Amino acid sequence: MADGSDPRPDPGAGAVPPGPGGAAAPPTSRVTLKVNGTEHDLRLDHRVTLLDALRGHLLLTGAKKGCDHGQCGACTVLADGRRVNSCLLLAVTQDGADITTVEGLGSTAGDLHPLQRAFLERDAFQCGFCTPGQLCSAVGAIAEAAAGHPSHATGADALTDPGPVTLTAEEVRERMSGNLCRCGAYPRIVDAVRDVTA
């Protein structure tokens, strides 16, 4: 053109700015997570899992990275009151969610949650690696049973008469089966959960 401008569209317009070494920076989004009662505004890569956001960005290391495939339960936290495997959830999908980790189970005054006390009294852990996930899963399992959600172990009579499900030892074992304990503290874990629901 006479004024020297190029009429062709800029091929870089709207592109992601280059990151270190000239590679395209990964897409990010703002995410708001309410974790243990405190709201956090984060800018996260879309690939960051909830577990990595909790551990790496918020420095809440209670939830553990065990298998990173959702098979061991060590990363279990509560999202809006429901237990989830945080290693399988992208943090951006939890925007606005209310997250509770093991650090948030007790009171702000430092009192232990009844399940934490029961785990101590029943000696329901050995190495302790799986314990945060076991505790969060147990809180979720107790809430599910109280709301009348059946499990594979729930009898047929409970299905015809909806209401809270009694947490027998068999019910607890079934509901907690997604949380592995390599030390084999399962009988004590079942006892601790039943102590709290008795």
pLDDT tens digits, one per residue of 177-194: 999 999 999 999 999 999
Spatial separation of the C-alpha atoms in residues 124 and 186, rounded to whole Å: 7
C-alpha 169/C-alpha 93 separation (Å) is 35
Distance CA 111, CA 182 (A): 28
Judged against a pLDDT cut of 60, whether residue 10 lies above it is answered with no
Among the ranges given (108-117, 134-143, 168-177), the one the predictor scored with the smallest mean pLDDT: 108-117
Q: How far apart are the C-alpha atoms of 65 and 179, rounded to whole Å?
A: 13
**pLDDT at residue number 14:** 44
Round to whole Å and give the CA distance between 143 and 189.
17
Distance in angstroms between the alpha carbons of the first and the last residue of the chain: 84
pTM, to two decimals: 0.84
Tell me the per-residue pLDDT of 21-32, one tens digit each, with 9 for 90 and over.
667 788 999 999
Amino acid letter, 175: R
In DSSP terms, which residues pair with 170 in a beta bridge? none
